[in-house]
Amino acid sequence: MKKAIGILTFILAISCLLSITAFAIDHSGVDYNDVISEERYDRIYNEANYKNEFEPGAVVIYFKKGITEDMNFIELLPEVKIAEIKNTIMVNGRVMVHAGLEEKTRESVLEAIDVLKVTDIVYFAEPNYRIIIDDPNPEIVTGDMNFDARLTNEDIVIMARVIVGSEALRPLQNMFGDANGDGLITNVDLVAAARALVGA
């Protein structure tokens, strides 16, 4: 009898294990080495950023390479209370989503970011400083530092001020202004934006 119970227990354990793995979300294509630099990490998650105005109850999540637009992002992040995905775009080969949280408060945003910044499929996450992300998907213009969906002289001036340190860089500006994808705003990005502006 004990042997039969042992065999049944073993079979039950195996069937549970198989059912769990059968429904597990496939992360096999994720590039886990796709990480931001320490300097950029410190800048993005600096507590001083959170004093700026941002959308309560929404977070911008930038996934690591290998996560695709057709995935169910709410299922990918069960530890975060996401009510809806408001918007999905591709930026520098990575998926960025504008996610609405169940709780519409500033505190819920900061709690979600605390979880997301240690989640292995997330490149980085931050509040929605832009406040409004147009639906359907906005057109991302590389070098657009003031988020007006076009490249102008004002964007070039903002980028130059950031490079010399006379203007603080918001994380989303870093993402939109980073033409070469190295995680920083440098003279290389400034030249690329200036060339794009004049059509060179």
pLDDT over threshold 70, residue 18 = no
What are the angstrom distances between the C-alpha of 142 and each of 7, 54, 79, 158? Answer: 61, 22, 32, 13
Closest to 153 measured CA to CA, from 166, 162, 144: 144
Q: What is the mean pLDDT of residues 173-187?
A: 75
Burial (Cβ within 10 Å: 0-12, 13-18, ≥19) of residue 106: middle
pLDDT score recorded for residue 46: 84
87, 135 in Cβ contact below 8 A? yes
Q: In this predicted model, what pLDDT tens digit does every residue of 36-92 receive, in sequence order?
A: 878 878 878 888 888 888 889 999 999 999 998 888 989 999 999 999 988 888 877
Q: In this predicted model, what pLDDT tens digit does every residue of 119-175 receive, in sequence order?
A: 999 999 999 876 544 444 455 677 888 777 788 898 888 888 888 877 777 666 767
- Going by the DSSP 8-state scheme, the letter that residue 85 receives in this structure is E
Q: What domains, with CATH codes, occur in the chain?
A: 38-127 (3.30.70), 153-198 (no CATH)
- Tokens found for residue 24: 């597990």
> What is the sign of the dihedral through the CA atoms of 169, 121, 149 and 132?
negative
Taking the whole predicted model, whether its pTM rises above 0.75 is answered as no
